[in-house]
Amino acid sequence: MSTVYELICIACPVGCQIRAETQQDKIISIAGNHCKRGESYAQEEIFRPARVVTSTVRVQGAVLPVVPVRTAEPISKDKIGATLEELAQIKVSAPIKLHQVIVEDVVGTGVDVIASRPLMSKEAGERTA
Ligand code: SF4
């Protein structure tokens, strides 16, 4: 039995609407993509969907209560919930550097969570005010 997927390719700004038909773990027909990258995109999106996860993490002693963070690379979609749960549990200390590793190997994905911006400590913020 085959399954049909309707996807919008995000590999470039054209945004082709792709219709892919799969059987077991193979794409048996594909239409709507204007180039080969659309095929690769459909293959990944159907069989190994992954996303960069963005969130915030609580910070102690900083000018703001939270710092925005993201995974350094896309992670499997089925690990997103566990990643967000882990990030909700932690609290880090200021100062935070841009791209500082906040969590190593988050939920065993092999991918680190990093800071999306620097964040100075409260004391440093008061000195510059
Ligand atoms: S199929 Fe090719 S042209 Fe269409 S959105 Fe994807 S990368 Fe762009």
pLDDT tens, 24-52? 889 999 999 999 999 999 999 999 999 99
Reply yes or no on whether the pLDDT at 103 is more than 80.
Answer: yes
Q: How far is the CA of 2 from the centre of ligand 1 (A)?
A: 24
- Does the domain at 54-128 match CATH 3.10.530.10? Answer given as yes
User: pTM for the complete prediction?
Assistant: 0.82
> Residue ranges per domain, the chain?
2-48, 54-128
> Measured from the CB, is residue 7 less than 6 Å from ligand 1?
no
pLDDT of residue 126: 78
**CB of 33 sitting under 6 A from ligand 1:** yes
- Residue 14 Cβ inside 6 Å of ligand 1? The answer reads yes
> Dihedrals φ, ψ of 78, to 5°?
-75, -5
* Token representation of residue 102: 């906040």
Query: Residue 129 above 70 pLDDT?
Result: no
Is pLDDT at 97 greater than 70 in this prediction? yes
